[in-house]
């Protein structure tokens, strides 16, 4: 079993070292900017299994589980040890969550927002740079310290190195003696470990766990997030091998390095805007499908398993056309709509096992 620090441990260490913690909802946000201001981002994707009773009183019944459980977690006091909460505008549901927390149900810590422009042209770049400036000012107001631009550039470099290590891990996946459940236990650390520690952990695992990967049936995982944990366990039991990730939580946040930009704000913005095609950033189905086919060809994946929370609008808009294009090109696709719980429901497990059997 890999030796992985827990979220709680990482937060305590950050506070003991005199730093601050920013809770962050999905999806895209400037990690390096937060770090440059002395805030360690700790992401909140649910968490799975969180009680949603109180949250449901504030939300429409067709809101996804990421937002429902996220609000449930906030209302249950789950952020009591955090110094601020950042709610990026990943989709309309997240924007609605930001409004609830800013205007109606203040969680007792500063709530910040960040809107990443859709599109990639000059207007999108200017808009995102302005958003970064606003966020930076809000962080400086909380910390009482101005932004250190050199630190911002330094943290951008660290992020790039962490993403390069992640890309290497996927390239070498078949020589990594880790089952899928253990691999994703490692990868989930990206949501709360500082990028340099995450990279060190990956490097160590890549050096110490050489061998043949268990599982033969190569698949990509896509969708929003590879949850519940039981999903990976079913893939392990059925002989599947995850050789690439195309989900919001991991694969769609492997941004470009952008080495030709000295200004950290423009570099950060260009990185965020130039990430892999993503429905939540308004990418067209044809671009998403093209990227997935390239990823499948590069990794040898024969199928894509998509896991989405129910009612995920951005994904539902593109999935029918993306699926049609992928299947027409010979890539098998299974779409599972799931709640953020610990176990995979029996019906979904059966569908997944049957799908993997046919590969």
Query: Which residues here bind ligand SF4, judged by CB under 6 A?
Result: 26, 64, 66-67, 90-91, 93-94, 224, 280, 309, 312-315
What is the b/e burial string over 193-213, where b = at least 16 CB atoms within 10 angstroms of the residue's CB? bbbebbbebbeebeeebeeeb
CB contact set of 66 (below 8 Å; sequence gap of 6+)? 25, 26, 45, 46, 93, 94, 224, 225, 309, 312, 340
Least separation in angstroms between residue 93's CB and ligand SF4 is 4
As a whole number of angstroms, the distance between CA 109 and CA 91 comes to 22
Least separation in angstroms between residue 52's CB and ligand SF4 is 13
Least separation in angstroms between residue 221's CB and ligand SF4 is 15
Q: Of the two residues 136 and 308, which places its CB atom closer to ligand SF4 in the complex?
A: 308
Least separation in angstroms between residue 310's CB and ligand SF4 is 9
Question: Can you list the alpha helix ranges (DSSP code H) found in 121-274?
Answer: 122-143, 149-171, 180-187, 195-208, 229-237, 264-273
Least separation in angstroms between residue 305's CB and ligand SF4 is 16
Q: Of the two residues 173 and 190, which places its CB atom closer to ligand SF4 in the complex?
A: 190
Least separation in angstroms between residue 345's CB and ligand SF4 is 18
Q: Of the two residues 36 and 226, which places its CB atom closer to ligand SF4 in the complex?
A: 226
138-142 CB contacts, 8 Å cutoff, 24+ apart: 138/110, 138/112, 139/22, 139/33, 139/34, 139/37, 139/39, 139/84, 139/112, 140/37, 142/20, 142/83, 142/84, 142/110
Q: Of the two residues 56 and 200, which places its CB atom closer to ligand SF4 in the complex?
A: 56
Q: Of the two residues 64 and 213, which places its CB atom closer to ligand SF4 in the complex?
A: 64
Q: Of the two residues 66 and 219, which places its CB atom closer to ligand SF4 in the complex?
A: 66
| Closest to 169 (Cα-Cα) out of 184, 155, 158 | 184
Residue 254 has a CB neighbour count (10 Å cut-off) of 16
């Amino acid at each position: 079993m890999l030796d992985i620090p827990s979220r709680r441990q990482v937060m305590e260490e950050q506070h003991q070292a005199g730093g601050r913690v920013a809770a962050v909802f999905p999806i895209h946000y400037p990690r390096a900017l937060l770090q440059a201001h002395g805030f360690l981002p700790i992401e909140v994707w649910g968490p799975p299994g969180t009680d949603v009773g109180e949250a449901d009183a504030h939300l429409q019944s067709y809101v996804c589980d990421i937002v429902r459980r996220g609000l449930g977690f906030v209302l249950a006091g789950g952020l009591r040890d955090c110094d601020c909460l950042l709610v990026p505008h990943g989709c309309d549901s997240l924007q609605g969550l930001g409004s609830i927390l800013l205007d109606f149900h203040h969680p007792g810590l500063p709530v910040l927002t960040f809107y990443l422009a859709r599109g990639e042209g000059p207007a999108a770049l200017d808009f995102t740079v302005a958003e970064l400036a606003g966020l930076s000012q809000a962080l400086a107001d909380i910390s009482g310290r101005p932004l250190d631009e050199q630190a911002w550039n330094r943290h951008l470099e660290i992020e790039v190195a962490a993403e390069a290590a992640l890309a290497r891990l996927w390239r070498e996946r078949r020589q990594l003696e880790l089952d899928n459940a253990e691999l994703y236990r490692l990868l989930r650390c990206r949501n709360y470990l500082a990028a340099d520690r995450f990279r060190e952990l990956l490097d160590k695992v890549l050096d110490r766990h050489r061998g043949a990967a268990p599982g033969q049936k190569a698949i990509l995982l896509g969708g929003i997030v590879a949850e519940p944990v039981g999903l990976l366990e079913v893939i392990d039991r059925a002989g599947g091998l995850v050789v690439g990730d195309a989900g919001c939580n991991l694969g769609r946040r492997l941004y470009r390095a952008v080495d030709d930009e000295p200004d950290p704000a423009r570099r950060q913005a260009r990185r965020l805007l130039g990430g892999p095609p993503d429905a939540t950033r308004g990418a067209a189905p044809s671009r998403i499908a093209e990227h997935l086919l390239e990823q499948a060809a590069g990794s040898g994946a024969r199928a894509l398993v998509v896991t989405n929370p129910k009612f995920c609008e951005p994904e539902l808009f593109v999935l029918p056309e993306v699926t049609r294009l992928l299947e027409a090109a010979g890539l098998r696709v299974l779409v599972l709509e799931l709640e953020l719980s610990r176990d995979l429901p029996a019906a979904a497990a059966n569908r997944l096992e049957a799908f993997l059997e046919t590969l």
